[in-house]
Structure 1
């Protein structure tokens, strides 16, 4: 598929997926459903929380820096990952959130687990913390990345918001890092549903309100 055709198909898939998301999660009923599913996300993320807790204990014993976790503040109809972010902060891990910089990379901002978030100037971004700005290379030591997506299919193909921010960021992380896309249950699609470009980074795990799924084994993680 030539690049122009691929870009056009991605735009159409993105449009359809966003429309479907809005139909389910906009409005009062959608907000209530999203809040309920946020608690289910938290429950299904227990293996991720346990991994971070183990890493925190090891870091304390060794006297090294606390493990780093990258999260995101969701837009109003994205899967609400914030209860999970609060729980991860309680483990003692360091949390960072993305912010748009002036170029084509994500900048990362630290969050202390309690302070308020402010509106982001970046189009399509959720809110961002008011912590220390760590620059664009902050993920070189990350252990867990919770990544937003418009959808992911069971071929491990992720479709984002179209700017390529996360594909560039994921190219900088350690091989040992856990990468988990967080989406609504209906946004985990059948194998081969999405178009994957040359620079699209495969996503090995997906967390939804229905469970934590490995796309490598096609089983629940």
Structure 2
């Protein structure tokens, strides 16, 4: 890894974490409603019957109301489960029973389906620290989603969920970084 790029990523991630920590409860509530509405619209646009989506932690864009809505609609939702080898297993758990995963983020509890289970979904919704104008996603540095997306033979549309201020002109790029097909913010959906 180029140390200059690694340093740029660390600095940008620290800035983005601080911005997220400084959001007011009202800003979070408004953003949560916007994320939910736009994610519902995206699911309708791609006619998704099966999706993968992460369980949001406190400072992340809130996916929980959307996940509840998807379950109520009968949409199959796969949740990521982190593994020691850096890959992701999947489960059709719910967002009520959860544990803290290896990466320190919430994970659903349920039967493990293995890494290839994601090949059967119609839409993949991933977390991100930022996304740039070319569709490059910068994650939080663990590489779980880059490895998963990079190993898929046939990948359905992948959308990152970020706050409006995290859609940037450019993010630092490394060879393993995977692009996304679009992003969802509280105010819009952008397809690349």
User: Please, what TM-score do these two structures have when normalized by structure 1?
Assistant: 0.79
Q: Secondary structure at the match of 2:68?
A: helix
In structure 2, the residue matched to 1:148 is 127
Q: Cα–Cα, structure 1 residues 175 and 105, in superposed 2: closer, same or farther, change >3 Å?
A: same
**Distance (Å, rounded) in 2 between the aligned partners of 1:77 and 1:91:** 27
In structure 2, the residue matched to 1:6 is 5
Matched, 1:86 2:68: yes
Structure with higher Rg: it is 1
Deviation at 1:174, TM superposition (A): 5.5
In structure 1, the residue matched to 2:101 is 121
In structure 1, the residue matched to 2:110 is 131
Give unmatched runs, 5+ long, in structure 2.
none
Give unmatched runs, 5+ long, in structure 1.
25-29, 56-66, 217-221
Q: Contact 1:105/1:136 (CA < 8 Å) preserved in 2?
A: yes
**Distance (Å, rounded) in 2 between the aligned partners of 1:157 and 1:84:** 24
For residues 60-119 of structure 1, what are the alpha-carbon distances to aligned partners after superposition, in whole Å with 9 as ceiling and x for unaligned? xxxxxxx4311011110111011111222223221111121121111212125xx61323
Deviation at 1:208, TM superposition (A): 0.6
Q: Contact 2:89/2:113 (CA < 8 Å) preserved in 1?
A: yes
In structure 2, the residue matched to 1:68 is 50
In structure 1, the residue matched to 2:187 is 210
Greater relative contact order structure (CA < 8 Å, 6+ sep):
2
**Distance (Å, rounded) in 1 between the aligned partners of 2:82 and 2:17:** 21
Residues paired across the two proteins, number? 192
Q: Contact 2:78/2:92 (CA < 8 Å) preserved in 1?
A: yes
Deviation at 1:198, TM superposition (A): 0.8
**Distance (Å, rounded) in 1 between the aligned partners of 2:25 and 2:153:** 36
In structure 1, the residue matched to 2:178 is 201
**Distance (Å, rounded) in 2 between the aligned partners of 1:46 and 1:128:** 22
Q: Secondary structure at the match of 1:210?
A: coil
**Distance (Å, rounded) in 2 between the aligned partners of 1:207 and 1:134:** 27
**Distance (Å, rounded) in 1 between the aligned partners of 2:104 and 2:130:** 15
Q: Contact 2:119/2:155 (CA < 8 Å) preserved in 1?
A: no
Deviation at 1:51, TM superposition (A): 4.1
Q: Contact 2:40/2:66 (CA < 8 Å) preserved in 1?
A: no
In structure 2, the residue matched to 1:33 is 27
User: Please, what TM-score do these two structures have when normalized by structure 2?
Assistant: 0.90
